[in-house]
Structure 1
Amino acid sequence: MTLRVLVPWQRLVDELTIPGIEPILWHINDDPEDAPPSDVLVTERPSNPQLRSRVSRIKGLKHVHLLSLGYEWVLEHLPEKVSLTNSKGAVEDATAEHCLALILASLRQLSQVGKQQRERNWTRTWTGSLHGSKVVLLGAGGVGNEIRSRLLPFKPAELTTFARTERVHEQGYRIYSLDRLRGFLPTADVVIVALPHTPETEKLIDAEFLSAMKNGALLVNVGRGPIVDTEALLLELLAGRLHAALDVTDPEPLPANHALWSAPNCIITPHMAGDTGQFISLVSELAVNQVIAFAHGEELANQIIN
C-alpha cells in the first residue's frame, strides 16, 4: 500500500520519492483547491488564519507533521484519531539567533543609525547595551533556553527566567513562576517573550503589565502575537515610553494600514525568526525521517497527539 503524503516544497517531493511513498506537492497557503485525499500532511503554519480549516477537510488523513514548534493553531481543525508531531529540535537555534538580532538592533538604535546613513549624517549616537542590563526572559522551553545561552556571553547584570511552573533548571539556574513576574518588571531593561500561545498566556502582556515596565525599557516578542495586547502596546509606543522589537504581532499578518507599522521605537519583522537556510535543512531532514518512520509503523519523534 502506497502512503500518500502532502508536502509544501519540491525539495521534500524529491527526497520522499521512494518506494511505498507518493509525495504530493500541496501548500496550505498557495494552492487554490483543497488538498486531495492523503494519509499524511506535512505543513507550515498558514499565514492566513482562514486557511487553517483546510486541514479538517483532507479525506483519509491519519497524521499531521508541522514544520514548526507551535501547534496550537491546528488543534481545533485536527480530525479525530489523527496523530500530530512538530519540529522540535530544528527551530530553536534560528529563533534564538533572530531574537538576539532584534535585541541588539533595538538597543544599539540601528534603525536610527540607518536613517542617518541614508541622510549622510555623521552623528555619533549613545545607545543602550545588553552588557549591564537587567533582562527578564519569559519562556523556559527549547527556544527560551537557546535565547538564554546566547544572552549570557553579553554579560547582562541580571538574567531572570520565568515559566508556568517554578523549578530549578538542569543547568542549575532558577526558573520563577509567571505569577511572580510583576515584581521584576519595574527594574527590567529588556523583557523577552518566548512563550507559547495558550489560554493562560493570552494577552499576558496587557496594559497593567506594560505600565509596570520602566521608562525606556524594551519589549521583545518572538513567541506569539496574541500574548501581547497590541492596543495597549501601541499606546505606550506612541507616548514614547517603551521600545518594542516584534517578530510576531496580533493581528498577523499585520494589515498595511495598521498604526503599529509607523509607531516610534518599534522594529517589526514578518514572523521570520525561523526562516534560514539552516532551518530549512534541519526541518526537511526531520520531516523526511518522520514520514519514513510513519510508513514503516515506527515510533515518531516529537509526538504531541498519538
Structure 2
Amino acid sequence: MTADVWLPIAAKDIDGLPQGLDYHFWDGGPDYPADPAECAFYVVPYMKGAEVSVRPLSAMTSVRVVQTLSAGIDHVQPGIGSLPTGAKLCNARGVHEASTAELTLALVLAALRGIPGFVRGQDAEDWRSGFYPALADKSVLIVGYGSIGAAIEDRLAPFECARVARVARSARTTERGDVHPLSELPALLPEADVVILSTPLTPATRGLVDAEFLAGMKDGALLVNVARGGVVDTDALLAELKSGRLNAALDVTDPEPLPAGHPLWHAPNLLISPHVGGSTSAFLPRAKRLLARQLTRYAAGEPVENVVLTTE
C-alpha cells in the first residue's frame, strides 16, 4: 500500500520500517513536510504540548491512525472531534512503564529518606544526621492501575511494604490481588502512608485529588504524582503542604511548566522533578520499536495495537 506517514523521528533512524510507505519527518515545526490531507498515519511529536499536537489534525481528512509517543492522550484529545470516522487513536503502552516506575520509586525514596535535605545540607556543609522514614513497613496506595501502575508495583515488591492497594476506574482482580474502584477511595486513603497517582487525565480524574481527597489522607502521608498535573488541585495541595500535615513529590504540575515565582517552588515538604518520568535513555529505543511494529501491522493490513479509541 502507498500512504503518507508523518514521523517525529527520521525514518532512516528507525530499524524495521516496512517498505511501500511514504515517510515524512515532522517534529512540530512551523512548516508541514507534506499535505496533511494525504497523511494516513500520524505520529504525534513527543512532549511538544497540545497546541502543536493537534495543529494538523483538522486538515488530516484521510488519517487512519494517530499514534502518540506518550502513555497519556490528553494532549491530542482536543483535536479528536475533527478526525474522520474510523480513525484509531493509539497510545505508547510499553514505552514508558519502566522509566516512569523507576522515577516513581526514586521520588518515593528520596522524599521519605530526606534526600533533598541532604543535598541542601551538603551545599551548606551541614551534617544532617538523624532518623528518617523508610519505605519498608509502609502501606502504599496506587491510584491508576494500568500498565504503569502495575510496573510501579513490580518495583515496590522488594521493599517489604506492609501493603499495596490498587485503585482503577473499575474493580477487577489481578495476579497480585484485587483492584478497587475509584468509589472506594475514601475508605482506602486513611490507611495509606504513600499515595501514588498514575492515572490518565480524563474528565473523571481531572481535579480528583481535591481538598476532600487530601483531607482523607493520614497525617504525615506522602503524595506522589507521576500522572498529570491536572489530576491534583494545586491550591488544595499547597494548603496541606503549608500546614505541614502532608508531604508530596511531583513529577507533573498544574500549571506546567511551573512558572518562576509560583508558590509550589518554595512549598515546604515538597520535591519537584520537571516531568521526566518517561524522558530517559530507555525512551528512544522503545519508541522506535513501537513505531516499527505498528507501521508493519498497518502496512500489512493488520489491526494496530494500543488502540485507545476509534472515532465515530
Q: Which amino acid aligns with 1:48?
A: G
Q: Which amino acid aligns with 1:9?
A: I
Counterpart in the other structure of 1:280: 284
- Do the aligned partners of 1:36 and 1:58 also contact (CA within 8 Å) in 2? no
Matched, 1:114 2:119: yes
In 2: Cα distance, 1:177 partner to 1:62 partner: 33
Q: Offset at 1:287?
A: 0.7
The 1:132/1:19 distance shift into structure 2, 3 A limit, reads: closer
- Do the aligned partners of 1:87 and 1:286 also contact (CA within 8 Å) in 2? yes
In 2: Cα distance, 1:208 partner to 1:57 partner: 39
Matched, 1:102 2:107: yes
In 2: Cα distance, 1:303 partner to 1:18 partner: 20
Counterpart in the other structure of 1:234: 238
Q: Which amino acid aligns with 1:36?
A: A
Matched, 1:159 2:164: yes
Q: Offset at 1:18?
A: 6.3
Counterpart in the other structure of 2:57: 56
The 1:52/1:14 distance shift into structure 2, 3 A limit, reads: closer
The 1:13/1:66 distance shift into structure 2, 3 A limit, reads: farther
Q: Which amino acid aligns with 1:226?
A: G
When normalised by structure 1's length, the TM-score is 0.91
Q: Which amino acid aligns with 2:196?
A: I
Unaligned runs of 5+ in 2: none
Matched, 1:125 2:101: no
Matched, 1:211 2:209: no
Q: Which moved more, 1:154-163 or 1:249-258?
A: 249-258
- Do the aligned partners of 2:18 and 2:296 also contact (CA within 8 Å) in 1? no
Matched, 1:20 2:2: no
Superposition CA RMSD, Å: 2.0
- Do the aligned partners of 1:65 and 1:84 also contact (CA within 8 Å) in 2? yes
Q: Which amino acid aligns with 1:272?
A: V
Aligned-residue sequence identity (percent) comes to 39
Matched, 1:33 2:31: yes
Residues 249-288 of structure 1: pairs in structure 2 closer than 5 A? 249-288=253-292
The 1:218/1:260 distance shift into structure 2, 3 A limit, reads: same
In 2: Cα distance, 1:246 partner to 1:158 partner: 22
The 1:303/1:49 distance shift into structure 2, 3 A limit, reads: closer
- Do the aligned partners of 2:45 and 2:53 also contact (CA within 8 Å) in 1? no
In 2: Cα distance, 1:172 partner to 1:261 partner: 37
Counterpart in the other structure of 1:185: 189
Matched, 1:150 2:150: no
The 1:129/1:270 distance shift into structure 2, 3 A limit, reads: same
Q: Offset at 1:47?
A: 3.8
Counterpart in the other structure of 1:6: 6
In 1: Cα distance, 2:118 partner to 2:124 partner: 10
**Equivalent residue in structure 1 for 2:79, among 52, 70, 77:** 77
Aligned length: 302
- Do the aligned partners of 2:104 and 2:226 also contact (CA within 8 Å) in 1? yes
Q: Which amino acid aligns with 2:91?
A: N
Q: Which amino acid aligns with 2:213?
A: F
Residues 189-200 of structure 1: pairs in structure 2 closer than 5 A? 189-200=193-204
In 1: Cα distance, 2:199 partner to 2:18 partner: 38
Q: Which amino acid aligns with 1:53?
A: V
CA deviation map 1:66-112 (0-9, x unaligned): 11221233233131232222221222111111111110010011100
In 2: Cα distance, 1:184 partner to 1:18 partner: 48
- Do the aligned partners of 1:34 and 1:54 also contact (CA within 8 Å) in 2? no
- Do the aligned partners of 2:44 and 2:53 also contact (CA within 8 Å) in 1? no
Q: Offset at 1:293?
A: 2.2
Q: Offset at 1:52?
A: 3.5
CA deviation map 1:15-44 (0-9, x unaligned): 37764223222112xx12356322221124
Q: Which amino acid aligns with 2:218?
A: K
In 1: Cα distance, 2:34 partner to 2:264 partner: 39
- Do the aligned partners of 1:26 and 1:35 also contact (CA within 8 Å) in 2? yes
CA deviation map 1:259-294 (0-9, x unaligned): 112211111112211112222211211112212322
The 1:159/1:98 distance shift into structure 2, 3 A limit, reads: same
In 2: Cα distance, 1:47 partner to 1:200 partner: 24
In 2: Cα distance, 1:107 partner to 1:67 partner: 31
- Do the aligned partners of 2:6 and 2:26 also contact (CA within 8 Å) in 1? yes
